[in-house]
Amino acid sequence: EEELLSVANHGETNTIQRTHQLAIEVIEATGLITSSHSDVHIPCNPYCSIRLEDRSRKMRRNLFDDAKNVRRTYYIEKNTSPKWSGMKFVFDIPERASEDPSGFAVSVKV
């Protein structure tokens, strides 16, 4: 479980430095829908959230869900087709992920 606690690489680098790492670059989103309530139109200020899921441990507390292991882009004001620049994140992956790749997933939310 110690390897799970260090899932996210919190260093200054955003490039792969060793084995068992995953680099994810967020580039853009398209076709986002703005919220509207009656006659009020609420602008869209999108950002992207990325986390790794350990599907092999559904019954236990999923350490990938720890808030400090979630990566987020900056938000872009009033835009339904945002484009991000320099949003590359590196995650440390547990060694056992190579033995059971279907037990792990990347969750991306905008």
Residue 19 belongs to domain with CATH number: 2.60.40.150
d(CA 73, CA 47): 6
Polymer length in residues for the chain: 110
**Structural domain count, the chain:** 1
Tell me what pLDDT residue 35 has: 74
Coil, helix or strand for 8?
A: strand
Higher-pLDDT residue of 60, 28: 28
d(CA 71, CA 108): 10
d(CA 65, CA 50): 11
| pTM of full prediction above 0.85 | no
Output the six-digit token pair for 47.
């950002």
Segments forming the whole domain that contains residue 72: 2-109
The DSSP bridge pattern shows strands 35-37 and 71-72 to be: unpaired
Q: Residue-wise over 70-95: b if at least 16 C-beta within 10 A, else e?
A: bbebeebeeeeebebeebebbbbbbe
pLDDT in tens, 40-63: 677 789 999 998 887 776 645 555
Output the six-digit token pair for 61.
């507390």
pLDDT in tens, 64-74: 556 557 899 99
